[in-house]
């Protein structure tokens, strides 16, 4: 395998350098604008996005700028009734918003399937952008989204969990889905990570060459993880190691004691 963009050039095309906010929280507005240009989506005659929990359609939205400035069609799903009322008000001012009241879930969690929601609309199977932010079963909802294939997927993860830890929401504390578990799902669904903002941004493999990523970032996606989200990387790794040690079966007690001694000698005293 030959790798492009050796040396400093590896960093030249990183999407994180385009981060800026109009409505988004962590720079997604600017990143998506650049990504849509690279994928030539901004030149399409009709463009579609989907976002859930959408709140009022505007608050910390990854897609509302596309609706308000570029007249994208949007399907916004919100579960909380008061927020949904606000979403309906936004839809009156922006007629390309199609508001839906409901909680999106997956096959392993409560709620309606996104496929069922979209089946009641005119959105094409290969629509342009999906944004998932429900603070819980985000990953399960994406896994269950099988009848449609968005070009870009933005999905929330718990970025305090560093790469290498496999966790789905509900399995452990802290809550949420980990970077590595989300990467496994993305690989199975044939998507490639292109940016980490706190959210993960993926592009389907059919068009990934158009993103012009450096090969190191493309084939080793953990390089894109922003460690500031994990706090102190060293202490974070230690805390997860301690949690793992506590789960070691009783018959491995001696090994557990040895590990604790090594942690203490390394300057990380016991709890």
pLDDT in tens, 43-91: 898 999 999 988 899 999 999 999 999 999 999 999 999 999 999 999 9
Neighbours of 258 (CB within 10 A): 11
Residue 154 has pLDDT above 90, yes or no: yes
Domain ranges within the chain, ordered by starting residue: 7-228, 236-265
Distance (Å, rounded) from C-alpha 248 to C-alpha 267?
Answer: 22
Distances (CA, A) of 63 to 14, 151, 209: 20, 14, 23
Using the Cα atoms of residue 11, residue 15, residue 17 and residue 18 in order, give the sign of their dihedral: positive
Q: Which of 3.40.50.720, 3.90.950.10, 1.20.58.220, 3.40.50.150 is the CATH number of 7-228?
A: 3.40.50.150
Residue 72 to residues 41, 59, 128, 230: CA-CA distances in angstroms?
A: 11, 17, 10, 34
What's the CA gap between 122 and 140, in Å, rounded? 24
Is pLDDT at 24 greater than 90 in this prediction?
yes
For 265, the token pair is: 């000698």
In tens, the pLDDT along 190-207 reads 999 999 999 999 999 999
Average pLDDT, rounded, for the chain? 86
Name the 3-class secondary structure at 83.
helix
The CA-atom distances, in angstroms, between 238 and each of 58, 144, 233, 234, 259 are 39, 34, 9, 6, 11
Number of H helices, E strands in the chain: 9, 9
Question: Which residue bears the tokens 């290969």?
Answer: 126
pLDDT one-digit tens code per residue, 210-242: 999 999 999 999 999 999 998 655 555 555 555
Model pTM? 0.82
């Amino acid at each position: 395998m030959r790798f492009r963009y050796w040396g400093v050039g590896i960093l030249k095309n990183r999407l994180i350098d385009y981060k800026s906010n109009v409505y988004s929280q962590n720079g997604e507005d600017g990143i998506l604008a650049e990504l849509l240009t690279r994928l030539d989506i901004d030149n399409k005659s009709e463009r579609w996005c989907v976002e859930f929990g959408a709140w009022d359609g505007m608050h910390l939205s990854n897609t509302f700028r596309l609706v308000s400035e570029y007249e994208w069609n949007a399907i916004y799903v919100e579960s909380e009734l008061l927020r949904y009322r606000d979403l309906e008000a936004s839809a009156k001012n922006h007629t390309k918003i199609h508001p839906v009241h409901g909680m999106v879930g997956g096959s392993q969690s409560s709620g309606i399937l996104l496929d069922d929601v979209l089946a009641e609309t005119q959105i094409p199977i290969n629509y342009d952008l999906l944004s998932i932010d429900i603070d819980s079963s985000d990953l399960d909802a994406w896994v269950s989204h099988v009848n449609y294939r968005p070009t870009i997927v933005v999905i929330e993860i718990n970025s305090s969990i560093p790469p290498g830890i496999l966790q789905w929401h509900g399995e452990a504390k802290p809550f949420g889905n980990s970077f590595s578990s989300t990467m496994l799902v993305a690989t199975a669904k044939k998507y490639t990570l292109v940016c980490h903002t706190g959210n993960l941004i993926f592009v389907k493999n059919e068009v990934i060459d158009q993103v012009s990523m450096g090969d190191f970032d493309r084939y080793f996606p953990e390089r894109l993880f922003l460690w500031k989200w994990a706090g102190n990387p060293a202490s974070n790794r230690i805390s997860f190691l301690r949690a793992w040690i506590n789960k070691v079966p009783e018959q491995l007690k001696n090994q557990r004691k040895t590990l604790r001694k090594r942690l203490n000698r390394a300057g990380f005293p016991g709890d």
